[in-house]
């Protein structure tokens, strides 16, 4: 009887975790690039009351005993995993040319300080350009390739995307009065992002120039990524990060959809159904504890009867 009580306690704890996950999914139904999670259960170890026995009678014999199966009593349930669901979210047309959704595999790469030693990954593409010409995402610098390095035969190096710096490395720039060279100050209005990740700037004279590309990172096991908040993921030893970042459309990576944002992949119909299941499961386990408590109370009252 105590086994059933402890099993019911484990069931209540497991369904409580399920409610936590469902609640977080529903809370992020409008979070850009959010990926829902689910809860997988597995049973705990079982107590073996008696082991299996082999049959002593052969197929051709009319005597002997048959075999017996083990007698086992389960001891409850546990949360086995809370995997992320990396299904594609719906694209929302925002009309903002700096917004980008990834249609297919891959993650945008961002860095808090523009260095390649501390990188994070995200499916959110609500980019902005700051006053210094940096392409930003929620306070993080977006990483990419310069046009000169990405056009070579080797693997291009990641660099923080700064429009003026990329233009300078591509050999562009402006000229002031008298033919003196002056830096070209570029902003959000001067930038166009292509479906291949290309960063094309419009120069003061009206001409255009591709100065770089947004980089994407692929993982063999994206469910192995660690959520760190702010729609960001950190690499782990089980994520299986591909050796090199790539341009969109290259190396199996998806393409970009400029002017779009990938919305959350949370299915409210499913989440509300899972909420009901979790609630009923919690209630059922609590009734088992209530029944066990009533039986224990009857046993205690035997002394007084």
Question: What does the pLDDT read at residue 107?
Answer: 98
CA–CA gap between residue 12 and residue 131 (Å, rounded): 52
Residue 222 CB contacts under 8 Å (≥ 6 apart), including other chains: 84, 86, 107, 233, 239
- Residue 139 falls in which region: left (phi positive, over 0), alpha (psi -120 to 50) or beta: left
> How big is the chain by its Cα radius of gyration, in Å?
30
The token duo for 162 is: 């700064």
Instruction: Going residue by residue through the chain, which has 305 residues, state the pLDDT in tens, using 9 for 90 and above.
Output: 688 899 999 999 999 999 999 999 999 999 999 999 999 999 988 888 888 888 887 767 767 787 888 898 989 999 999 999 999 999 999 999 999 999 999 999 999 999 998 999 999 999 999 999 999 999 999 999 998 876 655 578 999 999 999 999 887 764 443 334 556 788 888 999 999 999 999 998 889 999 999 999 999 999 999 999 999 999 999 999 998 999 999 999 999 999 999 999 999 999 999 999 999 999 999 999 999 889 888 888 887 76
Question: What does the pLDDT read at residue 178?
Answer: 39
Query: pTM value?
Result: 0.86
The token duo for 232 is: 């960001």
Question: What does the pLDDT read at residue 152?
Answer: 52
- Please name which of 85, 95, 152, 97 lies closest in space to residue 123, comparing C-alpha atoms: 85
């Amino acid at each position: 009887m105590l086994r059933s009580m402890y099993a019911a306690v484990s069931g209540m704890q497991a369904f409580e975790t399920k409610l936590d996950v469902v609640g977080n999914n529903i809370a992020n139904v409008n979070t850009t690039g959010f990926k829902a999670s689910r809860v997988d259960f597995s049973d705990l170890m079982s107590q073996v009351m008696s082991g299996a026995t082999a049959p002593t009678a052969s197929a051709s014999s009319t005597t002997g005993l048959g075999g017996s199966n083990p007698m086992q009593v389960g001891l409850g349930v546990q949360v086995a995993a809370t995997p992320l669901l990396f299904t594609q979210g719906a694209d929302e047309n925002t009309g903002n040319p700096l917004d980008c959704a990834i249609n297919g595999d891959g993650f945008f790469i961002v860095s808090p300080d523009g260095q390649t030693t501390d990188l994070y990954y995200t499916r959110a593409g609500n980019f902005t350009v700051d006053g210094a010409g940096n392409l930003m995402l929620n306070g993080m610098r977006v990483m990419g390739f310069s046009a000169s390095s990405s056009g070579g035969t080797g693997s291009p190096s990641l660099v923080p995307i700064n429009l003026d710096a990329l233009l300078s490395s591509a050999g562009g720039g402006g000229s002031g009065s008298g033919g003196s060279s002056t830096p070209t100050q570029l902003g959000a209005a001067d930038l166009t992002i292509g479906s291949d990740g290309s960063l094309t700037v419009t120069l003061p004279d009206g001409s255009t120039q591709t100065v770089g590309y947004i980089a994407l990172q692929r993982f063999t096991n994206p469910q192995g990524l660690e959520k760190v908040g702010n729609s960001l993921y950190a690499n782990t030893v089980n994520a299986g990060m591909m050796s090199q970042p790539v341009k969109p459309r290259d190396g199996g990576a998806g393409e970009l959809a400029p002017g779009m944002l990938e919305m959350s992949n949370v299915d409210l119909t499913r989440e509300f159904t899972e909420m009901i299941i979790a609630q009923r499961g919690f209630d059922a386990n609590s009734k088992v504890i209530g029944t066990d408590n009533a039986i224990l109370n009857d046993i205690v009252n035997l002394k007084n009867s």
